[in-house]
Amino acid sequence: MSDLQIVLIVIGGLIIVAVLVFNWWQERRFHQQVENNFSSIKSDALLEEPSLDTAQRYDTEDDPDHDAFSISHDLIHETPLAKQEPALETHDHIDDQALYSEPETTYIAPEAIQTPEISEAADAEMPYVEAPFAAAEHNDSLPQAKPVNHDGIKAIFQDAFSKSPDAVNTQELAAGRALGAADRVEPEAALAQSLPARLHAQVDLIALLHLADVSTVSQVSGVLKSDFDGFDKPMFIHVQTPDSRWLLLSDVASKPDFANQKISKIACSLQLADRAGPVTRNVVNRFQLAVESLGLDVSAHVEWQSNGDAVADAAALDAFCIDVDKTMGFHLLHGENGAFTGTKLRGLAEAQGLELSADGSFKFFDEAAQKHAALVSTAATPSFVMFNREHHPFSPDMLRQSVVKGITFQLDIPHVNNSTEAYNHMVQVAKQMETGLHAQLVDDNNRPLGDAQIEKIRHQLKIIQATMLTRGIVPGSDVAHRLFS
């Protein structure tokens, strides 16, 4: 390194040191100017109040933590009752008792919405805070009042002000929403109890007929006219017995045992939509006219369960059905070994619990669904089906004599109660048969179907199921079967 470089380095270092010293000197000079310009007034007889000296002396002597406390004593007076001078009034400051007596500004308000941990900490200090103020409220002339515990007040205010206002607002908003939800659920639950179990307030246009006098099933059946015939959507008439049982009139009208059954209420309903589309304005008007006529014939007061436009509700319901009326499926395509024989296909399918039905498809029935169908005397709904991809129905003769190039597994989401479990089982069965038939699992475009694609289908299925539950329609329920028939 040359002498010139050494000299330049030294000069540069000196310049840096000089700049640092100059900045320090300017900063020190600036602080001195600020202290001189903003120094507090030591004493001013024209500005002082007579009571300020006493409060200042008390705060200085009894409050060693004054400098560490962040809340101003101008807003929170802590003067003991024994040291107060009743003859003097200070109008330049906020009334301390009024501050604590107003519910909106009292220190108890933040404590009321604290978490349990904060509440316990505040409760521990409350005896020291409440006693002086309570005494002042009932007896302003107590000769010996216990001085206020400054640490207690500070702890309470620090806990109160340390709680985020956003958190308080969030808790109040959540409580309000929960209360509002409870208020909404209770009328809906009461309405559901007063309607037949088959009906649904969002699916059916319902009218309740309150009979002025108790009637019988035979009398109601006798006054029914052809006005209730020929509807293109499902229409039901239920009658309610005095013990609050709902009976479908079409089931009991022809039974002698129910002819003299007394009834006190009638429910007429018209389904607003199905897979054929929404109900039309003419059909709605015709149904409403038929119900009003029936009310006049049986001397009943007609109470419609919906105040909105039934046609608009039907259109919205139909749009919802279009969004969720989906089927999930995939295919098994023959592999390099060629088409698989029908006998082997049937053997593997029956080994996995599938049953060959009269419509030419293999169906899998869940045990719970079969038990429920047996209780209500209806046909069980399959969890999923397997059929010929070439749309040739399976039959015992066809399976013995033919070969099959591909099969399709399909799940109808609205008709399956627990579609996620049904889908998982369908995938398991398909993979077992894929191995046994030396076939390949593919999508509609004959592209291989891997785990990622299967998981994507499962995710879409969960979304559809959640959408139906949000609407209040349980997949696989009787209402869902009616709506998606």
DSSP lists the bridge partners of residue 270 as 205, 235
What's the confidence (pLDDT) of residue 40? 53
pLDDT (mean) for 220-233: 85
* pLDDT for residue 17 is more than 70: yes
Domain assignment present for residue 19? The answer is no
> CB-based contacts of 63: which residues, under 8 Å, 6+ apart?
69, 78, 150
The last residue of a domain, from among 321, 351, 369: 321
Q: Does residue 18 or residue 87 have the better pLDDT?
A: 18
Indicate if 378 and 251 belong to the same structural domain.
Answer: no
SS (H, E, C) the chain: CCHHHHHHHHHHHHHHHHHHHHHHHHHHHHHHHHHHHCCCCCCCCCCCCCCHHHHHHHHHHHCCCCCCCCCCCCCCCCCCHHHCCCCCCCCCCCCHHHHHHCCCCCCHHHHHCCCHHHHHHHHHHHHHHHHHHHHHHHCCCCCCCCCCCHHHHHHHHHHHHHCCHHHHHHHHHHHHHHHHHHHHHHHHHHHHHCCCCCCCCCCEEEEEEEEEEEEEHHHHHHHCCHHHCCCCCCEEEEEECCCCCEEEHHHHCCCHHHCCCEEEEEEEEEECEECCEECCHHHHHHHHHHHHHHHHHCCEEEEECCCCCHHHHHHHHHHHHHHHCCEEEEEEEEECCECEEHHHHHHHHHHCCCEECCCCCEEECCHHHHHHHHHHCCCCCCCEEEEECCCCCCCHHHHHHCEECEEEEEEEHHHCCCHHHHHHHHHHHHHHHHHHHCEEEECCCCCECCHHHHHHHHHHHHHHHHHHHHHCCCCCCHHHHHHCC
* pLDDT for residue 399 is more than 70: yes
Indicate if 236 and 259 belong to the same structural domain.
Answer: yes
Indicate if 253 and 214 belong to the same structural domain.
Answer: yes
Indicate if 145 and 90 belong to the same structural domain.
Answer: yes
> CB-based contacts of 232: which residues, under 8 Å, 6+ apart?
276, 279, 283
Indicate if 107 and 80 belong to the same structural domain.
Answer: yes
* pLDDT for residue 9 is more than 80: yes
Q: Does residue 162 or residue 15 have the better pLDDT?
A: 15
Q: Does residue 68 or residue 432 have the better pLDDT?
A: 432
What's the confidence (pLDDT) of residue 257? 84
Mean pLDDT of the chain: 75
* pLDDT for residue 6 is more than 80: yes
- Residue 448: domain span: 325-483
The number of beta carbons lying within 10 Å of the beta carbon of residue 246 is 17
Domain assignment present for residue 77? The answer is yes
Compute the distance between CA of residue 304 and CA of residue 311 in angstroms, rounded to an integer.
15
What's the confidence (pLDDT) of residue 371? 79
The last residue of a domain, from among 286, 321, 356: 321
Indicate if 471 and 450 belong to the same structural domain.
Answer: yes
Percent of the chain with pLDDT over 90: 44
* pLDDT for residue 347 is more than 60: yes
DSSP lists the bridge partners of residue 448 as 442
Domain assignment present for residue 13? The answer is no
Indicate if 150 and 285 belong to the same structural domain.
Answer: no
**Digit-coded pLDDT (tens) for 292-345:** 999 999 999 999 998 889 999 999 999 999 999 999 999 999 888 788 899 999
pLDDT (mean) for 403-431: 93
* pLDDT for residue 455 is more than 80: yes
The last residue of a domain, from among 298, 321, 344: 321
* pLDDT for residue 358 is more than 80: yes
Domain assignment present for residue 390? The answer is yes
- For residue 256, give the CATH number of its domain: 3.30.1400
Residue 282: how many CA atoms within 13 Å on its side-chain side? Answer: 3
Least confident of 245-259, 364-378, 408-422: 364-378
Name the token pair of 12: 């540069």
What's the confidence (pLDDT) of residue 377? 64
Indicate if 316 and 225 belong to the same structural domain.
Answer: yes
Indicate if 203 and 65 belong to the same structural domain.
Answer: no
Instruction: Please state the domain count of the chain.
Output: 3
What's the confidence (pLDDT) of residue 485? 81
**Tokens 């109470």 -> residue:** 303
pLDDT (mean) for 203-208: 95
- For residue 343, give the CATH number of its domain: 3.30.1400.10
- pLDDT band, very low/low/confident/very high, at 193 (cuts 50, 70, 90): low
Domain assignment present for residue 242? The answer is yes
What's the confidence (pLDDT) of residue 206? 95
pLDDT (mean) for 449-478: 92
Domain assignment present for residue 142? The answer is yes
Indicate if 223 and 313 belong to the same structural domain.
Answer: yes
Question: Which range, 71-75, 118-122, 166-170, 297-301, is most confident?
Answer: 297-301
* CA max distance for the chain: 127
* pLDDT for residue 118 is more than 60: no
- pLDDT band, very low/low/confident/very high, at 37 (cuts 50, 70, 90): low
What's the confidence (pLDDT) of residue 408? 96
pLDDT (mean) for 169-173: 44
Percent of the chain with pLDDT over 70: 67
Indicate if 419 and 282 belong to the same structural domain.
Answer: no
pLDDT (mean) for 453-466: 93
Indicate if 122 and 151 belong to the same structural domain.
Answer: yes
Reference 242, options 214, 206, 268; nearest CA is 214
* pLDDT for residue 190 is more than 80: no
Domain assignment present for residue 183? The answer is no
pLDDT (mean) for 1-17: 89
* pLDDT for residue 76 is more than 80: no
Domain assignment present for residue 182? The answer is no
* pLDDT for residue 100 is more than 70: no
